[in-house]
Amino acid sequence: KAGVTQTPRYLIKTRGQQVTLSCSPISGHRSVSWYQQTPGQGLQFLFEYFSETQRNKGNFPGRFSGRQFSNSRSEMNVSTLELGDSALYLCASSVEQGFGYEQYFGPGTRLTVT
């Protein structure tokens, strides 16, 4: 079975721009979560999608948004980029939403904002 894939792997953007990151979950997985990883803040939960609906949201500003499609693929969008948005963005999928289901992570998209 193919793992979680994320595109692009690397991205360089300028302050004020917007960016869209893509995540394809493991086949059969219906839940997709997004995380931001930075040296200072560590791994922080952004949001979780299940059946095309956002089920949970972390403590991030409204500039961070996402969506999930009927095939469970998910996209994350960050508008009006700030320097502090530079991070590794990780996508994780699980069979079902929440609770104790283990999440499988993709390789991440490294976003650099200049």
Partner 1 sequence: AQKVTQAQTEISVVEKEDVTLDCVYETRDTTYYLFWYKQPPSGELVFLIRRNSFDEQNEISGRYSWNFQKSTSSFNFTITASQVVDSAVYFCALREYNNNDMRFGAGTRLTVKP
Name the DSSP letter for residue 102. P
**Contact status: 99 vs partner 1 (CB under 8 A):** yes
**Shortest distance (Å) from residue 36 CB to partner 1:** 11
**Shortest distance (Å) from residue 59 CB to partner 1:** 9
**Contact status: 10 vs partner 1 (CB under 8 A):** no
For residue 14, the cross-strand partners are: none
Q: Among 68, 106, 111, 113, which residue sits at the site for partner 1 (rule: CB under 8 A)?
A: 106
Binding mask 26-65 for partner 1 (x = CB under 8 A): -------x-x------xxxx--x------xx-x-------
Name the DSSP letter for residue 83. G
How far apart, in Å, are the Cα atoms of 42 and each of 24, 39, 88? 23, 6, 10
Q: Among 90, 93, 111, 113, which residue sits at the site for partner 1 (rule: CB under 8 A)?
A: 90
Answer yes or no: are the C-beta atoms of 87 and 39 closer than 8 Å. Answer: no
- The beta strand positions in 42-94, using DSSP E, are 42-50, 53-57, 64-68, 74-78, 87-94
Interface with partner 1 by CB under 8 A: which residues?
33, 35, 42-45, 48, 55-56, 58, 88, 90, 92, 97-100, 102-108, 110
